[in-house]
A and B are shown apart, each in its own frame.
Chain A
């Protein structure tokens, strides 16, 4: 994990092309001069037309940006994917079992496998969820597991996103754009489809409707509104699966049930794919000052008259402090060893570990326990001495607020950089749907750090995306 050359997903150390990339290498060699640059221009036009934008918080250049798209796909072999998807399935099953336990008998705490205080006093733990029986026993129905690769057979899970993971619309649009840009490339390889995601999302949501629902469940996507950075995705997904896109004021509670205001009168809603955070979901139960939510929504959920996807309180399972216990969680509930490794994580509340961390901070990655989106983190090797000092102070002041990990030498993929092809670091976020069954879309969203040497792939920090191919046998 140190300073050695990163793992190149396309080339072996001897310069030969790795098997999954063979067709792509041939295709790249055939491209005329400026071929990739032209394709890049076309890609931008496609994305502008599709209207795929995201908002960058704290940016001056207008609120909407087109996310950079790289025209060279990232390729995963069938065997590699089988291994990954098995590991992901194991993980999401264990995390849902953990959530069930934490909100019922708390056996894992009684057994002393996780410190009780870490859960019970955690902000992400939602006491109002105690004893609730979610449909099919599922709490987190939509999960985006962030994975990085550091070697041919070395994959690490960076974090499990169980709240409201975003980015799946980029996965879908990247594929659509790639098929328009390079249809011939798809003829040379057998690529597993991702277009089934919206249909699978609908199936998953329908499968967790309250038992009392007769006929086809009525599904709504609840968005905080147009100022949210992922609003495009909310409307895109609602549109793709044929569900209504709603904001809080479009929904209301009557007689313990949830209704949508429509031009034809109120219509009962059975399943809500909510993209509003727990705190803002319902001012009657959570933050009283929230204007985004629906008063009484949580009570209607507790009364069993509507399903919330994901359930409130799932954040306790992707809390960065709980992350270090995921291998124990898998063993405790499934009796299996974790198939995918965690990144080794240092606990700053431990004095010895903290001392070591403070001394070696220049080589480490520091993350805020409750941070996300690349905000509030520091990558040691690419940060200034002043930043190192600042984070040393922060850790000393609130050691429980940070986790620290070694800087992972993320794998690289060939990336188009102003006419040339150069290796850039990537990560992977596969999307998992859990309802009557576990459905994992082959591939996921590949994020690429476009700056040379950069390890931060977040779109809010100058990262781009790539179409991600899982080859079929």
Chain B
């Protein structure tokens, strides 16, 4: 599937900032499930950016601006060709050892009631992970229609990405991902946070999204979207990974600003 992405971010800074330093993780990478056909990141100062791979393997731009004025706008857009791998990403050369993703962070804790019954289960790891995905859905609640939510937490606040409002009583996407990750790690299974895009489709309003990936010694990394109760399909585009939402944030700044972002994601 060819997916066109137009991701725009606006950062409102506290007044009087003498300098702005930004850490941008806005560059998706080609891999088993996706090929980046074209991509560009637009921001003042991007031409002079420091570029590197972070500890999780993400492509990062370090951008600075002196005397930033008004709202800072950043755009990331391009075309990504995806293929359905049944959610299996496999083992990818150059990535950190999977066990890194056993580290428990403040955001990724799960109650033992959620994963306890799998501790001594003889199920395959894949069955356990599917079981966890279902338990997370039961615990946090699911939307009645198949329409996925398109909101994500990027700044700790709800960030509008598209026209669809989430059900008022349902928690944000990140909670589903964190709960799944926390449960997997408690069972000694490496699990990580993926921040990415979901293409619009039938009854689906695309946009920014987040899901989890867990590691199986045979299959490698496998995606799990507990909020939508499926493994990622060709509608999913991976952008950045991390231990939790915080370490996979597409944009971090000093000074800290208020970030609003939206993404138009459509199959073409």
Pairwise interchain contact B102-A256, C-beta atoms closer than 8 A: no
Q: Which of B48, B100, B252 contacts A127 (CB 8 A)?
A: B100
Is A106 touching B99 in the complex (CB atoms < 8 A)?
Answer: yes
5 contacts between A and B (CB under 8 A): A106-B97, A116-B99, A121-B102, A253-B21, A284-B21
Indicate if the CB atoms of A130 and B56 lie closer than 8 Å.
yes
Nearest residue, chain A, Cβ from B66: A254
Q: Which of A117, A121, A127, A284 contacts B23 (CB 8 A)?
A: A284
Given contacts A109-B99, A295-B21, A299-B60, contact A132 B55 (CB under 8 A): yes
Question: If the complex has contacts A284-B21, A295-B21, are A303 and B102 also in contact, measured as CB distance less than 8 A?
Answer: no
Indicate if B143 sits at the interface (CB-CB under 8 A).
no
Determine whether A453 belongs to the interface, using a CB cutoff of 8 Å to chain B. Answer: no
Interface residue tally on B, bucketed by range = 20 to 34
Which residues in B have their C-beta under 8 angstroms from that of A252? 19, 64
Chain A residue with Cβ nearest B256: A288
**Within 8 Å of chain A (Cβ to Cβ): is B119?**
no
The 8 Å CB contact of A299, one of B19, B23, B243, is B23
Rounded to whole Å, the gap between the CB of A304 and the closest CB of chain B is: 7
Type the 1/0 row for B217-260, where 1 means its CB is closer than 8 Å to any CB of A.
00000000000000000000000000100010000111010000
- Judging by beta carbons under 8 Å apart, are A255 and B48 in contact? yes
Q: Flag if A255 contacts B50 (CB, 8 Å).
A: yes
Would you call B43 an interface residue if the criterion is a C-beta within 8 Å of the partner chain's C-beta atoms?
A: no
Q: How far is the CB of B186 from chain A (nearest CB, A)?
A: 11
> What residues of chain B lie closer than 8 Å to A128, measured between beta carbons?
54-55
16 extra interface residue pairs, beta carbon distance < 8 Å, beyond A255-B48, A295-B21, A302-B55: A106-B99, A109-B99, A121-B103, A128-B55, A130-B55, A130-B96, A131-B53, A131-B96, A132-B55, A252-B19, A254-B48, A295-B254, A296-B64, A299-B50, A300-B50, A304-B52
Known: A284-B23, A299-B50. A256 touches B62 (CB 8 A): yes
- Residue pairs across A and B with CB atoms within 8 Å: the count is 91
Collect the chain B residues with CB atoms within 8 Å of residue A130's CB. 55-56, 96, 100
Q: Is the CB of A120 within 8 A of B99?
A: yes
- Taking the complex as formed, is A34 at the interface, i.e. its CB lies under 8 A from any CB of chain B? no
What are the residues of chain A within 8 A of B102 when measuring CB–CB? 116-117, 120-121
**In the assembled complex, how far is the CB of residue A316 from the closest CB belonging to chain B, in whole angstroms?**
12
Say yes or no: B21 contacts A256, CB within 8 Å: no
Closest chain-A Cβ to B53's Cβ sits at a distance in Å of 7
Give A193 Cβ to nearest chain B Cβ, in Å.
42
**Residue A283 at the B interface, CB < 8 A?**
yes
Bound Cα distance from A347 to B96, whole angstroms: 31
A110 vs B247: C-alpha distance in the bound complex, in angstroms?
A: 25
Expressed in whole angstroms, the minimum distance between the Cβ of A432 and any Cβ of chain B is 27
Could you tell me the distance between the alpha carbons of A300 and B64 in the complex, rounded to whole angstroms?
Answer: 11
Residue contact A127 to B64, C-beta cutoff 8 Å: no
* Chain A CB within 8 A of B14 CB: no
Q: Is the CB of A299 within 8 A of B100?
A: no
B49: interface (CB < 8 Å): yes
Q: Which residue of B lies closest to A284 (CB)?
A: B254
- Taken residue by residue from 246 to 273, chain A's Cβ proximity to chain B (1 for < 8 Å, 0 otherwise) reads as 0000001111110000000000000000
Question: Which residues in A have their C-beta under 8 angstroms from that of B96?
Answer: 130-131
| A284 → B minimal CB distance (Å) | 5
A54 interface residue per 8 A CB criterion: no
Contact residues of A between 298 and 322, Cβ < 8 Å to B: 299-300, 302-305
Contact-size category for A: 20 to 34
Q: Report chain B residues within 8 Å CB of A295.
A: 19, 21, 254
Q: CB-CB < 8 A to A257: which residues of B? A: 50
Alpha-carbon separation in the docked complex, A304 to B62 (Å): 12
B57 CB–A CB distance under 8 Å? yes
| Nearest CB in chain B to that of A252: its residue | B19
B104 in contact (CB, < 8 A): yes
| Distance (whole angstroms) from the CB of B177 to the closest CB of chain A | 17
| Nearest CB of chain B from residue A436's CB, rounded to whole Å | 25
B contact residues around A125 at 8 Å (CB): 103
Interchain CA distance A252-B19 in the complex, whole Å: 9
Pick from B21, B99, B243, B256: contact of A296, CB under 8 Å: B21
Residues of A contacting B247 with CB < 8 Å?
127
Does A105 have its Cβ within 8 Å of any Cβ on chain B? yes
A15 and B118 alpha carbons, distance in the complex (Å): 69
Q: Mark B105-133, 1 if CB is under 8 A from A, else 0.
A: 00000000000000000000000000000
Question: When A288-B256, A296-B21 are in contact, do A256 and B99 touch as well, CB less than 8 Å?
Answer: no
Say if the beta carbon of A129 comes within 8 Å of chain B: yes
Q: Give the contacts of A331-374 with B (CB-CB under 8 A).
A: none
B19 to chain A: closest residue by CB: A252
Say yes or no: B62 contacts A300, CB within 8 Å: yes
Q: Would A256 and B100 be within 8 Å (CB), given that A295-B254, A303-B62 are in contact?
A: no
CB distance from A254 to the nearest CB of B (A): 6
- Nearest Cβ on chain A to B82's Cβ, whole angstroms: 26
Cross-chain contact of B103 among A109, A127, A254, A299 (Cβ < 8 A): A127
Tell me if A285 counts as interface (CB < 8 A to partner B). Answer: yes
Q: Which residues of A contact B55 (CB under 8 A)?
A: 127-132, 302
Q: A109-B99, A252-B19, A284-B21 are in contact. Are A299 and B52 (CB under 8 A)?
A: yes
Give CA–CA (A316, B85) in the complex, Å.
38
Interface centre among A105, A109, A296, A304, by most B CB within 10 Å? A296
CB distance from B72 to the nearest CB of A (A): 15
Q: Enumerate chain A residues within 8 angstroms of B97, measured Cβ to Cβ.
A: 104-106
> Which residues of the other chain, A, contact B52 by a CB distance below 8 angstroms?
256, 299, 302-304
CB-CB nearest in chain B for A288: B256
Across the interface, name the chain B residue whose C-beta is closest to A122: B103
Least distance between A302 CB and chain B CB atoms (Å): 5
Interface centre among A109, A116, A255 (most CB of B within 10 A): A255
- Smallest beta-carbon distance A212→chain B, Å: 13
With both chains docked as a complex, state the minimum distance between the C-beta of A20 and any C-beta of chain B, in angstroms. Answer: 49
- In the bound complex, how far is the Cα of B21 from the Cα of A128, in angstroms? 18
Task: Closest B residue to A297 by CB, please name it.
Answer: B21
- Write the chain B residue with the least CB distance to A304: B52
Decide yes or no: A127 and B50 within 8 Å by CB, A288-B256, A300-B62 being known contacts.
Answer: no
- For B49, B97, B99, the residue with the greatest tally of chain A CB atoms inside 10 Å of its CB is B97
User: Which residue of A has the minimal Cβ distance to B20?
Assistant: A295
* Cβ contacts B52-95/A at 8 Å (1 or 0 each): 11111100101010000000000000000000000000000000
A127 touches B243 (CB 8 A): yes
